[in-house]
Structure 1
Amino acid sequence: MDLSSKLAERTVFVTGADGFVGSHLVDTLVEYDANVHVFVRATSSGELNNIRHHSENVTVHRGDLRDKHSVERALSALEGHSDSLIFHLAAQAHVGESWERPYETVDSNVVGTLNLLQSVVDLDLDIAKFDTAGTSEEYGNVRDEVRDHHDFVDDGRVLLSERSPVNPTSIYATSKLAADFLTMNYYDAYDVPTVTTRMFNNYGPRQNPRYITGTIISQALKRDHVELGNLTPKRDMCYVEDGVRGHLHVALGGNPGEQYVYGYGENISMQEWTDTILRVGTEEGYWGDPEIVQDEDRYRPGDSDVEELLVGHEKLTKETGWEPEVGWEEGIRRTIEWYAEHEHRWIGRVDWR
């Protein structure tokens, strides 16, 4: 897909634009000369950490997704742009923090999505696509009573697609599933051209160091051991630039009212992921041989951990040509390099000091 010709001078609205995936999406949109509008949470300092370098190339709207008035005021910038795109990436996106901040998680992820969708209707916006970013966590673990509705690969691993049953096991996952359904409700009721995307576990530069990849790298850079929780779950790790291309392919080539899932297409245990990160970092000279220490305090509560996630992205690939391009070791190298060169961007956000 020729992203350049489809995005040049096109009006695009991005929530969560200063976040991890959102900032990489803004990078791509600015590169392709889109007319970029970003919605970021209002702060007293007014600082933008991840997209400050684009301050001359984007229109910034400050507000709070939980405040319908500020959402509608920002979206009014799309009036008169019939081919505009909306990417809804803002969320409280950390599984562990959803247990610590349950009300904020539901408020941000559910009410925030509702405010966006209702504002599109109230303003009578004629948009080309509204993409709500979901999560692979919505699938949870396979329940015996619906096991026959799942697909499995030859070695017995569950293969998750748009057709797979959902079983959210955290407040975060439940809130994102609710946002997905709300998004589809507005397609069914008001013909808003919505899509939902479930990108499997993303990683890369700028990610919050409390996520697994960042916590491994940040600890290895600063001390001789790495404290982690449960290392048996398997995850389908997708590099952020591939994830951004996935969002763009869905928005530009996907069908309204449908869902698209995508990721690397292979999974790896968190033990193997940790070993790979530490090996690559050692080979690149970033650290010596950090010890891995498991800490029960880092486990998810009760039986809420998801055992394995593996995506089948055939639908997106068939309809739009999207495929992952960045291999795990290359993605890990890029991520380590960013953490090593930008300590001031993450050191105050770690949870291991």
Structure 2
Amino acid sequence: MWKGKKVLVTGAGGFIGSHLTEALVQAGADVRVFIRYNSRDGRGNLDDLKSSVLDQIEIITGDLRDADVIDRAVKGNEVVFHLAALVGIPYSYKNPREVVETNVLGTFNILIAGRDHEVSRVVSTSTSEVYGSAQYVPIDEQHPLQGQSPYSASKIGADKLAESFYASYNLPVVTIRPFNCYGPRQSARAIIPTLITQALVSQVIKLGNLDAKRDFTFVSDTVAGFMAAATATEAVGKVINVGSGQEISIGELAEIILKTTSSTAQLVIDEERVRPSKSEVNRLLADNRLAKDVLGWEPHVSLEEGIGRTRLWIGEHLDRFQIGKYQI
């Protein structure tokens, strides 16, 4: 299915992007990646890939807002996985213009290039944050969209652009809406690495809202959803949730991680980590029936197993983390 297929992955230096890139190479795809340029020639999480995998990847660097470099990156590919974005919600509070320009204009550039080069599929990445606090659960794809942060608003804009390109130009686009993905290589910007790193080395774990509930999906399951979205005929033109269909509060999650790490650390509310009240998303729980019906997808890694795998990886890479620092 993938052998010899020419594929572009944007945001390949990120957490999910690096896992997707690795899976595509292992499946036999001819993979080109687009990552953000920096003067250190840093490749982000791609550096965690084995040299036997990394040597097979063509790397293009630039800025997502630059239409010319995006056009060059897309040209010649059959499938485009668009994962590149600025994803930090706290970062979007501080730098809303950069987040909107990158996420909205960047997606626009991908869609234009996909249209102009007549790609066979664009898989665009959304986020469960576009739903805001759940008005009902489980959350299906018809749930109202609520821009409760500049980040979520930027992703709503990007999603609607993808929708418009399907309707206006018949661009074969699928929008995948991941719920909280986690696993090895994830930074402490996310809650599970934040909890695990502090539990391993500290007697105090600093957190924000303990009552918020989330739906966590292990990264290998999320990647399987992306790859299925690129091949399922009935997926074209649709928005599809990829989530476990199970929820857990942050406080309950912390207790599992304390047990997994044999930690006796105390949980402490850090006001710096608490979102503005109207911006806090209190509950996210995926209705994943469409993914099951259209993609043949379902999660396979339980939360306990996934946390165990993530804990082992973090334990081997603790030097990458600034323990206890609030990372936005």
Q: 2:167 maps to what in 1? A: 188
- Structure 2 unpaired stretches of 5+: none
Q: Matched residue of 2:187: which SS?
A: coil
Cα distance per residue 1:55-113 (max 9 Å; x no partner):
311110111101111111222243xxxxx111110111111111011111101111110
CA distance in 2 between counterparts of 1:39 and 1:202 reads 21
> 1:222 Cα shift?
2.5
Q: Which residue is 2:102 aligned to? A: 108
8 Å contact from structure 2 (residues 199, 257) kept in 1: no
Aligned to 1:265: 245
Q: Residue type of the partner of 2:272?
A: D
Q: Alpha-carbon deviations, 1:145-203, whole Å to 9, x = none?
A: xxxxx5xxxxxxx2111122212211111100110000111111111101111111111
Paired residue secondary structure (2:118)? coil
2:265 maps to a residue whose letter is P
> Aligned letter for 2:199?
A
Aligned: 1:127 with 2:107: no
Spell out the pairing of 1:71-110 with structure 2 (5 A cutoff): 71-78=70-77, 84-110=78-104
Structure 1 residue identity aligned to 2:117: L
TM-score normalised over the length of structure 1: 0.88
Whether the aligned pair in 2 keeps the contact of 1:209 and 1:349 (CA below 8 Å) is no
Q: Give the Cα separation in 2 of the matches to 1:345 and 1:298.
A: 21
Q: Which residue in the other structure is 1:315 paired with? A: 290
Contact 1:142 1:167 survives alignment (8 Å) = no
Q: Which amino acid aligns with 1:136?
A: S
Corresponding residue number in structure 1 for 2:195:
216
Identity %: 38
Matching residue's letter, 2:71? E
The alpha carbon displacement at 1:348 in A equals 8.4
Does the C-alpha gap of structure 1 residues 11 and 346 become closer, same or farther in structure 2, counting only changes over 3 Å? farther
Question: Unmatched 5+ residue regions in structure 1?
Answer: 1-5, 79-83, 144-149, 151-157, 283-287
Of 210, 213, 218, the match for 1:234: 213
SS of 1:50 mapped into structure 2: helix
Paired position in structure 2 for 1:36 = 31
Deviation digits for residues 200-245 of structure 1, max 9, x if unmatched? Answer: 1111111111211111111122221110011101000111110010
Letter in 2 for 1:93: V
Structure showing greater radius of gyration is 1
For 1:93-146, what per-residue CA distance to the aligned partner results, in whole angstroms no more than 9, with x for missing partners? Answer: 11111101111110111111011111223xx32222101110111111256xxx
Q: Supply the distance in 1 between the matched residues of 2:191 and 2:323 (Cα, whole angstroms).
A: 17
Contact 1:23 1:50 in 2 (8 A): yes
**Alpha-carbon distance in structure 2 between the residues aligned to 1:49 and 1:120:** 25
Kindly indicate whether residue 46 of structure 2 is the aligned counterpart of residue 51 of structure 1: yes
Counterpart Cα distance in 2 of 1:232 and 1:323: 27
Q: What is the TM-score of this pair, normalised by structure 2?
A: 0.94
